[in-house]
Amino acid sequence: MVDMAPAASVVTALAGPLGFARNAARPTTAAVPRFPQSIARAKVADRIFVFGSNLAGRHGKGAALYARDNCGAKYGKGAGRTGMAYAIPTKGYKLETLPLHRIKRAVEDFIAYALAHPELQFQVTPIGTGLAGYSHEQIAPMFAGAPINCDLPQEWASLALSSKEPQSDSGG
């Protein structure tokens, strides 16, 4: 088991477009998460970078490009883990924005993966709020059940605690 104490000091230090917050919920409960003030951009050996992707796996912009260049995200794989990255699709094969119910299913798959791997720490980016065009209010509630090993974006500090469902996209 990896001692997370050194990483915790890094976690309390990141800001900017990739600002994250450590979730203090127990892995099997949805307790109140803790969101530090900021987190510095730093590569930590035992951290999985979680980013929004497209189903075609064309990691060409934003956090997806960062994941490809720095975390081993495999070009052509648009969902799941490769290297030290985990792709959550927010866009389709033709780069169309996916409906919220499809993103929610992918987030549920990610949460199941995080629960199954408590030895790993996940740095979650604000998926779906950039190129996909959704608001933080629509995406953050999908992560309400994220376990302790998921560091959530600072922007979601007050939003991820909500138990309400994301706003409908009329897709189901």
Per-residue model confidence as pLDDT tens digits over 68-90? 999 999 999 999 999 999 999 99
Residue ranges in the chain assigned as alpha helix (H): 5-11, 62-70, 100-116, 136-139
pLDDT tens digit at each of 172 positions of the chain: 434 333 333 333 333 334 444 444 433 333 334 343 333 443 456 789 999 999 999 998 999 999 999 999 999 999 999 999 999 999 999 999 999 999 999 999 999 999 999 999 999 999 999 989 999 999 999 999 999 999 999 888 877 555 445 455 544 4
Asked whether the whole model's pTM tops 0.75, one would answer no
How many C-beta neighbours within 10 Å does residue 64 have?
Answer: 27
What are the structural domain ranges in the chain?
A: 18-156
What CA–CA distance (Å, rounded) separates 6 from 115?
A: 22
How many C-beta neighbours within 10 Å does residue 122 have?
Answer: 23
What CA–CA distance (Å, rounded) separates 98 from 139?
A: 12
DSSP 129: S
DSSP 11: H
Contact yes or no for 166/99 (Cβ under 8 A):
no
Q: Which CATH number fits domain 18-156: 3.40.1010, 2.70.98, 3.40.220, 3.40.50?
A: 3.40.220
What CA–CA distance (Å, rounded) separates 170 from 172?
A: 6
